[in-house]
Amino acid sequence: MGIKLRLENLTKVFGELVAVKNLNLDILDGEFICFLGPSGCGKTTTLNMLSGLEEPTEGRIILDAKVINHLPARLRDIGLIFQDYAIFENMNVYENLAFSLRAKKVHKDEIDRVVKEEAGRFQLTGMLYKDTRTLTPGDLQRVAIGRTVILAPSVFLLDEPLDNLDADMRITMRGELKRLQKDLGKTMVYVTHDQEEAMSLADRIVIMNLGELQQFNTPVNIYNRPTNKFVAGFIGKLPMNFIDCHLKEEAGKLILFDTNQTFQLDISKHRKRIESSIPGKELCLGIRPEHVSMASVSEKDSCEVTIRNIEVLGAENVVEFNLKGESGVVRRMTVPPEVIPNVDDRILIRFQQEKIHLLDHVKGIVLI
Amino acid sequence: MATIRMENVTKQFGPDKQYCNVYDFNFEVKDGELFCLVGPTNSGKTTTLRLIAGLEKPDQGHVYIGDWEVNHVHPSQRQIAMLFETLALYPNKDGYGNLASPLRVRKVPKVEIDRSVQEVATLLGIKHLLNRTPETYSGGEKQRVALGRILVQRPRAYLLDEPLGALDARLRISMRSELKRLQRELGQTMIFVTHDQEEAMSLGNRIAVLKEGRIQQIGTPLELYHHPVNYYVAKSIGKPAMNFYDCTLRQRNEKTFVMHDHFSLDIDDRLKGIKKQPKERKMILGIRPEHIDISDVKQTEEDIAAEVFISEPLGAKAIVDFKLSEETIRALTPSDQQFEIKGKKWLRFQKRKIHLFEKESGEAIF
């Protein structure tokens, strides 16, 4: 698999605002890449530079081993799919799909063959001659995607295309889009603010914040091994729990404990990794809600917590709790659906040792 | 003390009115309960709130607040506060002005106003917003100030119309738990309207599912999740949604089976002791994604052969879609399992978790 798209020192500055700062990454042929981040992180600006709608302030964009910085948008071998479909309302589905082929003066028999084939792929066969104004949002998005697929571009760029759809339709279209990309084998670059969408679609995710690349890796790696506090807190449907803590030496062991000393964890086996990173005094334990479990008295790393709230979600329940002496902060754990504790109950919990993250508070980097 | 009761309430609007009709609504919200109304855009949720608030008058039936029949009582006299979807903060007033406004309208003494505003501001953690105007607030801050403005009124009950609608996913989750904790601390009756079933499930002590102006079912989140009374409730609650398959009932060797083109399941045990035996033969079988077991080998006669269509890792879990000829079976699995596209697997629906609905009426058999 070769490199399809390379971003080299890509930077975009608007007046005093650095929207994208020195972005460097390689996207491989046939990869589904998601650019993920909160509003203002630079993902859409990056996409706009790739499509040609914005010019980079510095840096190069290299597509199929050619620098394309100075190519106008219409001459780049790129297919764009937007949130608002950009369907021609005065044409029916057939004509929308056929549009770009007609512009290229392809023979009408060939157009007919291609359109009907693509319509089949997108389940549009039954509505080829329908007025686009009567279509549902999901169907409109399929027409928009179909129209772009017919162009057979080298790379697809998608800007939050599923944002206008309702929850059920989003999940359905997500699965279709993912399967489409695998069938076509084409490279897709997809921008979203929805971490669940990025997790489900991407081969690799580019997480950005304030114009800078935070982490670029597979969904599973980003989820299990976030490299900084921003990524750790951003990925995951429920936020990761962050608990301030400190280190001490006791009887030859390296012990991690929280400010109120409600728990003590022996993390001696990570000694090498921590010492070599010169940690600041301010450390933070990160643990995902699904890695916090109920414990029994006999487990030495257990600690007592007070239940503050329970959310019954059906397939599982979310329990909010506080450690002793804590207030004004929300900690969460997920429990199986049959477990329903009462508010103000005190229970014992433990953190699954292999799933603990240790973060340097000041530098924001993950040590474990 | 404020229970809120609707008794046979019907309201019908003309053809080009903005709000939707409600038909024969009967429910009682208990004192101190957090009651959710959930349904899509045209289901009558906002109409219901407006009827309780007094912004609409019922065509038939009665609205009660406590023991007090309020059909003819003006909204301002009902001691109810309503929070609208748009929040409607006063853009030209600062945080203090927004919070104080309902009390100023009532000509409450200045000292009393100040005490109430400071108390609510502390409760919601918005003291730093008191001397700033709304255009400087973030989404979550606007929410809290709007909430503060109804809290100062100390109403008998709160009505909230999609209050978290404009917030992004992560903020919704944190505001949801704040709201729930607040409601519990205050012990006040609250009716909350949302189109988001997950929100209703996580917040409500009890939930009413609405469809096109009619109540489908009222119950606790668990009741709705495990015992939906009809197909509509079953498909509205739970994410990812329940899987549904058209089937027929057949008798074989004196046992009852549900038959599908690609599978058949013995449901004789499930039918035992059910009061409402099925009258029809056309059925819809329902099974939730987390109640499907997946294995590499066929373990029982009823196992279903299916092909992996796509898998979506979501972090804590994964959604895997299987294809059964033209139909899809969606399963929820632990995240550490790997699934290859086009891989063949054997699926088993957990027998005790199957739901059966009559296709014609949509009513649940079990």
Contact at CB, A236 and B238, closer than 8 angstroms: no
pLDDT, chain A, mean: 88
Q: Distance (Å, rounded) from C-alpha A38 to C-alpha A28?
A: 25
pLDDT single digits (tens) B50-89? 999 999 999 999 999 999 999 999 998 899 999 987 888 9
Rounded mean pLDDT, B20-32 = 92
> Is A169's Cβ below 8 Å from some Cβ in B?
no
Rounded mean pLDDT, B338-347 = 90
Name the residue facing A312 among B173, B222, B309 (closest C-beta): B222
Contact B153, B102 (CB under 8 A): yes
CA geometry: angle at B261 spanning B259 and B266, to 5°? 25
Contact B54, B70 (CB under 8 A): yes
First to last CA, chain A: 32
Asked which of B176, B202, B230 is the last residue of a domain, the reply is: B230
Name the residue facing A309 among B181, B198, B314 (closest C-beta): B181
pLDDT single digits (tens) B106-152? 899 999 999 999 999 988 889 999 999 998 888 788 888 999 999 99
Helix (H, G, I), strand (E, B) or coil at A35: strand
pLDDT single digits (tens) B184-239? 888 999 999 998 899 999 999 999 999 989 999 999 999 999 999 999 999 999 98
pLDDT single digits (tens) A215-226? 999 999 999 999
Strand partners of residue B81: B158
Rounded mean pLDDT, A125-136 = 86
Between B311 and A365, where is the model more confident? B311
B203 in the same domain as B87: yes
Residue B349 has pLDDT above 70, yes or no: yes
Contact at CB, B180 and A309, closer than 8 angstroms: yes
Rounded mean pLDDT, B293-316 = 90
B64 in the same domain as B163: yes
Measure in Å the smallest separation between the Cα of B324 and chain A Cα atoms.
Answer: 15
Measure in Å the smallest separation between the Cα of A274 and chain B Cα atoms.
Answer: 26
Q: Distance (Å, rounded) from C-alpha A322 to C-alpha A232?
A: 20
Residue A278 has pLDDT above 60, yes or no: no
Rounded mean pLDDT, B174-192 = 88
Measure in Å the smallest separation between the Cα of B281 and chain A Cα atoms.
Answer: 29
> What is the residue range of B318's domain?
243-358
pLDDT band at B14 (very low <50, low <70, confident <90, very high): confident
Q: Which two tokens stand for residue B216?
A: 């489908």
Q: Percent of chain A having pLDDT more than 70? A: 98
Is pTM beyond 0.90 here? no
Q: Distance (Å, rounded) from C-alpha A90 to C-alpha B360?
A: 39
Q: Distance (Å, rounded) from C-alpha B261 to C-alpha A195?
A: 37
Looking up residue B324, the CATH number of its domain turns out to be 2.40.50.140
| Domain presence at residue B235 | no
Contact at CB, B237 and A314, closer than 8 angstroms: yes
B258 in the same domain as B206: no
What b/e sequence results for B176-190 when a residue is b if at least 16 CB atoms lie within 10 Å of its CB, and e otherwise?
A: bbbbbebbbeeebbb
Question: Amino acid identity, residue B42?
Answer: N
B162 in the same domain as B33: yes
Going by C-alpha positions, the residue among A324, A321, A322 that lies closest to residue A335 is A321
Residue A87 has pLDDT above 80, yes or no: yes
Question: Amino acid identity, residue A37?
Answer: G
At B1 the pLDDT is 63
Rounded mean pLDDT, B348-361 = 94
Looking up residue B40, the CATH number of its domain turns out to be 3.40.50.300
> Is B221's Cβ below 8 Å from some Cβ in A?
yes
Which B-chain residues 222-281 have CB contacts (< 8 A) with chain A? 222, 225, 237-241
At A276 the pLDDT is 58
B279 in the same domain as B213: no
| Domain presence at residue B363 | no
Rounded mean pLDDT, A41-62 = 93
At A158 the pLDDT is 94
| Domain presence at residue B323 | yes
Radius of gyration of chain A (CA): 25
| Domain presence at residue B366 | no
Measure in Å the smallest separation between the Cα of A240 and chain B Cα atoms.
Answer: 11
- From the candidates A39, A192, A237, which should be mutated to test the interface with B, based on the most B CB atoms within 10 A? A237
DSSP characters for B253-305?
Answer: TTEEEEE-SS-EEE-HHHHTT-SS----SEEEEEE-GGGEEEESS--STT-EE
Q: Which residues of B touch A306 (CB under 8 A)?
A: none
Q: Distance (Å, rounded) from C-alpha A327 to C-alpha A330?
A: 8
Q: Which ipTM was obtained for this model?
A: 0.73
pLDDT band at A188 (very low <50, low <70, confident <90, very high): very high
| Domain presence at residue B78 | yes
B98 in the same domain as B70: yes
B10 in the same domain as B122: yes
- Total count of domains within chain B: 2
Residue A277 has pLDDT above 60, yes or no: no
B319 in the same domain as B282: yes
Going by C-alpha positions, the residue among A242, A81, A222 that lies closest to residue A147 is A81
B316 in the same domain as B340: yes
At B203 the pLDDT is 92
Contact A348, A293 (CB under 8 A): no
Rounded mean pLDDT, A203-211 = 95
Contact A151, A79 (CB under 8 A): yes
DSSP characters for B20-67?
Answer: PPEEEEEEEEPTT-EEEEE--TTSSHHHHHHHHHTSS--SEEEEEETT
| Domain presence at residue B335 | yes
B179 in the same domain as B76: yes
Place of tokens 């912004």: B55
Contact at CB, B315 and A237, closer than 8 angstroms: yes
Name the residue facing B310 among A179, A235, A237 (closest C-beta): A179
B247 in the same domain as B221: no
Q: Distance (Å, rounded) from C-alpha A321 to C-alpha A72?
A: 55
Residue A280 has pLDDT above 70, yes or no: no
At B253 the pLDDT is 84
B37 in the same domain as B67: yes
Beta strand residue intervals within A108-186, DSSP E? 155-159
Residue A279 has pLDDT above 60, yes or no: no
Q: Which residues of B touch A237 (CB under 8 A)?
A: 314-316
Asked which of B205, B230, B255 is the last residue of a domain, the reply is: B230
Asked which of B202, B230, B258 is the last residue of a domain, the reply is: B230
Q: What domains, with CATH codes, occur in chain A?
A: 3-226 (3.40.50.300), 241-360 (2.40.50.140)
Residue B255 has pLDDT above 90, yes or no: no
Residue B18 has pLDDT above 70, yes or no: no
| Domain presence at residue B287 | yes
Q: Which residues of A touch B205 (CB under 8 A)?
A: none
**What sign does the dihedral A69-A72-A73-A74 (CA atoms) show?**
negative
Q: Percent of chain B having pLDDT more than 90? A: 63
DSSP state of B328: E
